[in-house]
Chain A
C-alpha cells in the first residue's frame, strides 16, 4: 500500500509506510489512546504554545546557536556548521521534548512521571522538568548504564528523581524501556510516560519528532542569515532511537536537495557481533510497541546491541527513520567506537567543544560524506561530553 503521507505525517494509526503502529497490550491501550486522541489538539492550544515557547526560550536557552566550525571546515575542505544543542539546559537536545511532554502531561491531569534513559541525558531532562513542575519522577536505567554514566545518575538524584535499576537482559536502554512500560501498565491512571526518543507506540514517534522539530526550524532561519540559503547540502545526526536526528531532519524532509545522514553506532564493527547498526543488521519486527527495523534473531528474539555509547546501543530505530531509510530519503553511515573516540578528540582540539560520545558518532561521519568545498554541512551537536568524561579517561590512548 502506498502511503499518502508526507514524511512528517504518519497515518491515523501511526504508520510511516510499513513502520509504526501501536502494538501495546490492552493494559496500555487506554493510555496510548488518550494520548493519541489529545496530543495534537493540546499542542495546538495557544496557551500551550505560549507556555512552551517561553520555557524553551528562558529555561532551555533556545534558540541554540548555529556555529560555523572553521577549523573543522578547513580539515574536511567543506563548510561545516554545528547546531549547538549541547548548549541547551541539561546539556543535550533531550530537554526540548521533555518540556513539551511535561506540559502535555499536566494538561492530561497526570500527577506522576516515568521515563527510561540510556546515557542519562533523557533521564536528566525528565528529572529537570519534573522538578520545575513539582511532579514526582521515576527514571528507569539499565544497571550497566548506571555504572557508566554515573554523573547523570547523580544529577537525576540531585534533581529529586528516583533512579530505578533495570536488571534484565543487557541491562541497558532496551531493558530500561521494558521496565518503564511495565511501570506504566501498573499505574495506568495517574502516570504519564515521557518517552525520550522517536520510538514506542503511536503517537510517541510523531509527538517526539514534533517537539524536537524546533531544531531544524531554527536551523533554516539561522542558515538563511549566515549563508543566504535556508537549505544546507547535508544534515548529519547520530541515531540511537533517533530523536535528535528526527529533530534535525524534520523541516528538511520535504526538501530533496538536502541529504539527510543518519549515523549509527557500529560498536566494534558492523559484523563483529558487538554493534548497534540497526539499519544494516535489523529486519522488520516489533519492539516497544511499534513495527520498525530491529536487531533480532531468526526466531524473532530481540538481540542485545552494543555500543560504547550508552545512548546509541538500542536494538531498534524509530519507525520514521526506518521508513526514511527504506524509501531512500535518508542515508545511514555506521561509525565504530574507536572512530567516535577519535572524533571526540578532533572536535575538542579543533573547536574547543567536547561532544557527547553519541554526538561524536555524527562528527566521525564528516570524512565519509563526500562533501565538496562549496557544500554546506550541518552537524547536529546533540549533546555535550561532560557525562562521558569517565569513558574518555578510560580511553585516553584512543583520544589521539
Chain B
C-alpha cells in the first residue's frame, strides 16, 4: 500500500498542512516538514513559490515572495528534498505550485526528480484537465506521481466524477469562492449542502477540504464532511516573525489536533 492510501486507511480526521518551501528562511523546508509531522500533521503539502499565484491570497503570495527572495527555486527545492524521507519516512508529501515554473524546469525531469526524492503527488491548480489528460497523465503515471484536482461549489457532478476517475490520491474540496486564506465563507448551510452533495456522489477518492480553514473549530467542522482538511495561510501566518519556525509550526499543529 502506498503512503497516501496507507494514511487514509489508518487514520481519520487527517490534517494536511501547506507551507511554502524556503519560507521563512531558505533552509526551513526540511526542519518544518519534520516539526509538522512530529506534532501530528498527517499529510504535507510543500508549496513551490511562484511570482504570480492566481489561486492564492495575500498570505501565501507574501510567503512566496519572501521564499523567492531567499533564493528558493525548483532545483534548490529538489536538493533540499534529498533529505525528505529521512526526516518524514511515512507521511504523504505533495508538491503544490503553478504550471509555469514546472514547465520551465521540464515536466518529465520534474516528475523524475520528485519521485526520486520520495514525493507522492503533485497539485497544479492551473493545469487544465484536458492538457493533463493529453500531455501529462502518462508522465505522472510513469513516475508513480499522483495528481490532485480541485473541486469547487460550481464544479458539475459530471466533472467531479471525471476528476475522481483521474486521481488516486485525494480530492481537494475548495470550501467556497475565493483564494486561499479567504475570510469570506458562504453561510454554514450552503457550505454543508455543498459538502453533502459531494458525499452523496460516493466518490472513489477521499476528500480533504481546504481554503479558509484557520483554526481548530474550522478543522473540526471540515472533518464532519470529509476525511480531513488542509490548512495553509493560517500556518504561514503562525510562522511570521518567529525566531524558531519549526517550533512555531509544531505549536500550531498541536493547537489544531489537540
The interface of chain A, by Cβ under 8 A from chain B, is 13, 21-27, 29-30, 168-169, 174, 178, 181-182, 185-189, 285-289, 296, 298-302
Contacts and interface: CB of A to CB of B under 8 A. Distances in A.
Given A168-B61, A289-B126, 5 more contacts: A13-B130, A168-B58, A182-B54, A185-B179, A186-B184
Nearest to A168: B61
Interface string B84-109: 00000000000000111111110000
Contacts of B184: 186
Nearest to B156: A30
Interface of B: 50-52, 54-55, 57-58, 61, 65, 68, 73-75, 98-105, 125-128, 130-131, 149-152, 154-156, 159, 174, 177-179, 182, 184
B131 A285 contact: no
Interface centre among B54, B68, B130, B177, by most chain A C-beta atoms within 10 angstroms, is: B54
A85 B90 CA distance: 64
Given A182-B179, A296-B100, A301-B50, A27 B105 contact: no
Contacts of A21: 128, 131
A286 B178 contact: no
A30 B105 CA distance: 30
A205 to B, nearest CB: 15
Contacts of A186: 177-179, 182, 184
B232 to A, nearest CB: 14
Contacts of B155: 26, 29-30
B203 to A, nearest CB: 15
A397 B218 CA distance: 61
Contacts of B50: 300-301
Contacts of B52: 169, 174, 178, 287-288, 302
A239 B154 CA distance: 36
A168 B59 CA distance: 11
24 contacts: A13-B130, A25-B125, A25-B126, A26-B149, A26-B150, A26-B174, A27-B55, A27-B150, A29-B152, A168-B65, A169-B51, A169-B52, A185-B55, A186-B178, A187-B177, A188-B177, A189-B177, A287-B52, A289-B54, A296-B104, A299-B75, A299-B101, A300-B103, A300-B104
Contacts of B73: 299
Contacts of B98: 286
A23 B99 CA distance: 9
B210 to A, nearest CB: 12
Nearest to B211: A27
B100 A285 contact: yes
A185 B54 contact: yes
Contacts of A13: 130
A189 B190 CA distance: 14
B51 A23 contact: no
Given A23-B99, A169-B52, A185 B177 contact: yes
A27 B159 CA distance: 13
Contacts of A27: 55, 150, 152, 154, 174, 177, 179
Closest 6 pairs (CB-CB, A-B):
A300-B104, A300-B101, A26-B150, A25-B125, A25-B55, A186-B178
Given A21-B131, A25-B126, A301 B101 contact: yes
A188 B52 CA distance: 20
A300 B100 contact: yes
Contact of A185 (B105, B131, B159, B178): B178
Nearest to B49: A301
Contacts of A168: 58, 61, 65
